[in-house]
Amino acid sequence: MPKSASAGAQRDATSRESGIGLGELENHLGYFVRRLQHWIFRDVNAALATIDLDVILYSILETIAANPGAAQIAIAGALGIERARMVALLDDLQQAGLIVRERAEHDRRAHALGLTPRGRLILKKANALVAAHEKRVARRLGADNYRRALTALSQFETD
| Sequence spans of domains, the chain | 54-159
Question: Per-residue pLDDT for 1 more than 60?
Answer: no
- Which has more pLDDT, 158 or 86? 86
Does the model's pTM come out above 0.85?
no
Rounded distance between C-alpha atoms, residue 138 and residue 34, angstroms: 17
Rounded distance between C-alpha atoms, residue 117 and residue 52, angstroms: 17
Pick from 67, 50, 39: which is nearest to 134 by CA?
39
Which residues on adjacent β-strands are paired with residue 135? Answer: none
Rounded distance between C-alpha atoms, residue 136 and residue 8, angstroms: 19
The terminus-to-terminus CA distance of the chain in angstroms comes to 39
The yes/no answer on whether domain 54-159 falls in CATH 3.40.50.720 is no
Rounded distance between C-alpha atoms, residue 107 and residue 126, angstroms: 32
Question: Per-residue pLDDT for 9 more than 50?
Answer: no
Mind listing the pLDDT tens digit for each residue in 25-72? 989 999 999 999 999 999 999 999 999 999 999 999 999 999 999 999
Rounded distance between C-alpha atoms, residue 147 and residue 151, angstroms: 6
What does the pLDDT read at residue 14?
A: 53
